[in-house]
Structure 1
């Protein structure tokens, strides 16, 4: 049974989600995240699901883990004492950034502080040119002297980022060799391995981020492996990375920056699996947990990916106000809107929600754990969306009186009672998410009216129906296990790793031999990482190049087939680029040369399908809804359209059979979440357990 028993674990800002898959059966639980020792929540959750399944931890054959620890360490600036060694003259690159202003007209604009203060940044006299040639050789004696100098600083980790090291890493490798001998207890990260791509600010910042969190993550992963083994689960452990695949625990410890956004990536994989099951080509993935909400566009059952993303945005989640991380990542928009997001009244007497979150310690006011400020969960409870006696399967008792007290305090400056204040909080957070989705769609040239929303995460089903109303989305799917969707996504993800390299080349000087060898080298590198996870599974290589017209600042990704990568030619590359460029911008630019800046190869195994005997949805059954069935309850639910409390049916999801329909307003309850069906919608139970919510036509 061991190889059929797999555990998925997602550590979030508020809850730790644990899913155990035993053959075709799934068992799940949510436990509060334990910040001081995150592994405690994992062990607790593992024992709970093992008890439900009737198996011992020793029978688990594989554990897939995703975590926000790396992200949180960067946001909260609680990483290791770290140094940066760079080329002379480039000490301040990570502080100067790109010299762009993310808020053009803010005269008091304050740029985010770099991760490292200036006194922790050191330089060496060396220089590699843009073609990879050594212009100024590196003196080993200078490096040895620098190692002696920085010994007294007590650094735990050192980042090495030299100019154009992605083309010629020899100098970075020499520095690492010297430091490893002189300071054997210090962890080292070099940019030519962490992010071998052009643009020194992004590359240096990514390498610094990797070094900054490396001791923390390496210690945590080692501790977790030991604790799990002590509990009997001495099985292989793998980590979800931000690109939507799985890597070994050893690779994760060496490149922890690739774990940033690992939880949201699992959610996107989960939504893509559901999209494939239902044959949907245009999906809006909506993941809302306790701390943040994530929105991702999924086309042709594949999440959109990017090379660079920002973490720890400091200015109203505005693009450009965070620290860029240059690694493969699933492209999504993330805002501070979760169940724990705290509401307040600003100086303009407006209700604002987030990005600050109550998390799990102390949590929203209604948790009764010491929190006093109103959060989104307090508003949801007051509006009737949550049952105070059955939150998180009854494991957490909610206190409606404490939620009311917190909301009364919020509404007092605005002459609002608790119910009106709760309505205000819910509308603000829903509009924030709707606006983020609109902007993300516009940036990608998409019309959301053509999309189907897939909602998951503990809080998403509470808000998804209202979000669909705001966005004009006519269909919403809430799959089985939605409350722990990211953890299930980990169990669906393939083993994969993307290798990238910056080698500048114009099509007018296209060298087919160089291109063929470069792509083959990247394929070998990526395949080697995947083989550390699975020694026998078939591996597919996906080839991508990033191209632009000469003089442009940024590139667009162009996909190649294996045959095009094996026999590259300039005419094919130009044809592919012009087709994609026209699709994005409506026209090509005549007479301009085209250049390639980044080459990428993603090696991946096949995704793990859901272990269901029947994966396809049944034909829709158009039954007349009957709201007076035996066992159905009733609760007062606030209707945001009429702005009044109204009677809503309360239905257990487990009690719905395939073909059952529920007309809104209604609440469909389960242990990990509650689905709110607005008055404008009707819910249908599918044969695979998915709740299919569609707009009621007049």
Structure 2
């Protein structure tokens, strides 16, 4: 077999692997436990399994895409390098000052975000650029010797250099890097104009610090990952999934590892967007629940919602400003510690809490019989009869129902005076409400309504919890795609090779120097195309340009599309009209007579995505025949009921069934609640439709 492509998604609990042929048809998939100490070993195990299933050899592999949560986990768990910062003289306390506000004004016990670099490791150097990139004061070369001694004294393994207005002129940062590299050749150096070339010093410095913090670890990991697979016989390059939903090369990923943060969940959003196009659903909620976390993303007009910044490791889970801000192009989603391995416990006030701590893959839930004793969400699902022990994880993991019930009894039941079944029901109720609340909050913050949306659910636990989360979110229609258990890895194979640059260049709309601006875009195009061509040497490339526009004096901008060509004088009036129309849509009216200004310009260069045809619906329908039955605890009535059991591989387009039911496949189970019916469409997707007749 030739023309095969591999996708590997390393999550906190499981590693998902997918193998497809040249036409995009899935040949084999598998889930293997993540090996935290050496993640590439778990990935290699998964690849060997799918290649054995498909009877493929390494010579037939022509594409390899990899995504991982390792960068995210290193930042959250604080397992990075010892970092120092170098800023312009007089700006030592950028991290300490931050936004000059408290994220929770009246909280007397407020915990400040951990920004990784204490003040004792923050250094400065003389020299100054202005906002136009003109040198006001040359870099103080004589001060470099003092910096070298200071970096050695604090045992810095990496340094984040963020000099004032380096986005406009990086010359001083480049000079400083050259001088430090000559004196300290083993020092890892991150430059702000490469990591995040945008105005706003605090965000730019935080992003550069985060990049420097994980750069040594990620460079070692990427080298180890690539070396192991090359030793096995892989000859094609390995491309890395990015947070923005595209792919980049190993070399770029090692230089800018911050772009790998949230790369795994981004693949799931890409999958949901492609499915939305196939089923012609213009408003979608993507729901990805794995073993460690749950991720929710809004998708409109077949494009995931995007953002230019997000926060890592919030001190207060749902409060903006309580985490480390990172300014990179990213698919915007909300992620909470609610997965199959999330641990349930009763706090000192007698309240049942779920997560964010996770049992992970080792030892895992108590039912896995690998030494885990704490009750988890998966243990609760097993105790309620929602998981068939004989078919869980392709039958390769031993499931002990008694161990799950015992963990629930001791960890939750006894402190609250509940039976194991009631404790399990309580765990499920709270974790489902946590996920639904996160989705509702995310929608409200975006000015969107969840009730009209179609939920696309995937991940190892997404189909199992989809109907319960949807009911609490007032969502009536759910789609479970093919191979949902490895959905993010499937999404990797649908993503384009792309690279996005956002760069600050202040200009007033009425005084645009178009020749200068077009040269500015040409330089960005050359830079982005070089990255994309390294991963996709052939084929047509698409360029998407944007401007971030605001009224004079405002603090934030609105994203406005630009023509995908050099700008002309007649584009200025069109840009004004587009900005005022979007401003009116968001804030009800434009502001007449105000000066319009542009702070940032964006360019996205990508390969062309495959054009999908709409889903063909079956002409007839028939009731599906169950292959067995299971006793489950019904979450609607709170009583034990008999649920029909179906094998997904046996279902055909046009089949339908009523809840309660379980649709089982190798890597996950779809739970059809009592108030839902299931239908199989022409693409073998499962549609879950809520019946509201009992509410009327």
TM range (shorter): over 0.9
- 23-32 vs 285-294, greater mean Cα deviation: 23-32
Rounded to whole Å, the distance in 1 between the matches of 2:241 and 2:607 is 14
Task: Specify the alignment match of 1:385 in structure 2.
Answer: 386
* Counterpart contact for 2:450–2:474, Cα < 8 Å: yes
2:19 pairs with 1:17: no
Q: Deviations over 1:344-385 (max 9, x none)?
A: 223432211111111112111111122211111111111111
State the shift of 1:484 in Å. Answer: 0.3
State the shift of 1:477 in Å. Answer: 0.6
Q: Compute the RMSD of aligned alpha carbons.
A: 1.7
Runs of 5+ in structure 2 lacking a partner? Answer: none
2:670 pairs with 1:654: no
State the shift of 1:389 in Å. Answer: 2.1
State the shift of 1:622 in Å. Answer: 6.4
Rounded to whole Å, the distance in 2 between the matches of 1:277 and 1:395 is 34
- 567-576 vs 283-292, greater mean Cα deviation: 567-576
State the shift of 1:623 in Å. Answer: 3.5
* Counterpart contact for 1:93–1:200, Cα < 8 Å: yes
Secondary structure at the counterpart of residue 558 of structure 1: strand
* Counterpart contact for 2:503–2:602, Cα < 8 Å: yes
State the shift of 1:341 in Å. Answer: 0.9
Q: Which of 668, 674, 679 is the equivalent residue of 1:673?
A: 668
Aligned pairs (5 A) from 1:231-270: 231-270=232-271
Task: Specify the alignment match of 1:696 in structure 2.
Answer: 691
Rounded to whole Å, the distance in 2 between the matches of 1:553 and 1:349 is 44
State the shift of 1:621 in Å. Answer: 5.3
Aligned pairs (5 A) from 1:436-447: 436-447=438-449
2:561 pairs with 1:559: yes
Query: TM-score if structure 2 supplies the norm length?
Result: 0.96
State the shift of 1:563 in Å. Answer: 4.5
Task: Specify the alignment match of 1:183 in structure 2.
Answer: 184
Rounded to whole Å, the distance in 2 between the matches of 1:302 and 1:141 is 51
Task: Specify the alignment match of 1:163 in structure 2.
Answer: 164
Pair 382,568 (structure 1): closer, same or farther in 2 beyond 3 Å: farther
Q: Deviations over 1:94-123 (max 9, x none)?
A: 233212222232111010222112222211
Task: Specify the alignment match of 1:533 in structure 2.
Answer: 535
Pair 608,67 (structure 1): closer, same or farther in 2 beyond 3 Å: farther
Aligned pairs (5 A) from 1:201-240: 201-240=202-241
Rounded to whole Å, the distance in 1 between the matches of 2:223 and 2:659 is 49
Secondary structure at the counterpart of residue 598 of structure 2: strand
Task: Specify the alignment match of 2:426 in structure 1.
Answer: 424
Task: Specify the alignment match of 2:36 in structure 1.
Answer: 35
Task: Specify the alignment match of 1:618 in structure 2.
Answer: 616
Pair 624,469 (structure 1): closer, same or farther in 2 beyond 3 Å: farther
Query: TM-score if structure 1 supplies the norm length?
Result: 0.96
Task: Specify the alignment match of 2:517 in structure 1.
Answer: 515
Aligned pairs (5 A) from 1:471-620: 471-563=473-565, 565=567, 569-608=571-610, 616-620=614-618
Rounded to whole Å, the distance in 1 between the matches of 2:210 and 2:41 is 26
Q: Deviations over 1:45-66 (max 9, x none)?
A: 0110000001113321111000
State the shift of 1:156 in Å. Answer: 2.4
Rounded to whole Å, the distance in 1 between the matches of 2:275 and 2:67 is 20
- 148-157 vs 23-32, greater mean Cα deviation: 148-157
- 508-517 vs 245-254, greater mean Cα deviation: 508-517
* Counterpart contact for 1:46–1:57, Cα < 8 Å: no
Task: Specify the alignment match of 1:340 in structure 2.
Answer: 341
* Counterpart contact for 1:10–1:16, Cα < 8 Å: yes
2:644 pairs with 1:643: no
State the aligned residue count: 690
State the shift of 1:146 in Å. Answer: 2.0
Pair 133,608 (structure 1): closer, same or farther in 2 beyond 3 Å: same
Pair 10,137 (structure 1): closer, same or farther in 2 beyond 3 Å: same
Q: Deviations over 1:612-651 (max 9, x none)?
A: xxx643325564535xx3x611111222211112111010
* Counterpart contact for 1:148–1:182, Cα < 8 Å: no
State the shift of 1:133 in Å. Answer: 2.1
* Counterpart contact for 1:616–1:688, Cα < 8 Å: no
2:93 pairs with 1:98: no
Q: Deviations over 1:8-29 (max 9, x none)?
A: 0000010000111123233100
Task: Specify the alignment match of 2:6 in structure 1.
Answer: 7
State the shift of 1:168 in Å. Answer: 1.2
- 25-34 vs 441-450, greater mean Cα deviation: 441-450
Secondary structure at the counterpart of residue 582 of structure 2: helix
Rounded to whole Å, the distance in 2 between the matches of 1:100 and 1:335 is 25
Secondary structure at the counterpart of residue 29 of structure 2: strand
Runs of 5+ in structure 1 lacking a partner? Answer: none
Rounded to whole Å, the distance in 2 between the matches of 1:432 and 1:566 is 50
Q: Which of 677, 681, 687 is the equivalent residue of 1:682?
A: 677
* Counterpart contact for 2:10–2:67, Cα < 8 Å: yes
Rounded to whole Å, the distance in 1 between the matches of 2:283 and 2:522 is 33
State the shift of 1:481 in Å. Answer: 0.9
Secondary structure at the counterpart of residue 663 of structure 2: strand
Rounded to whole Å, the distance in 2 between the matches of 1:149 and 1:294 is 42
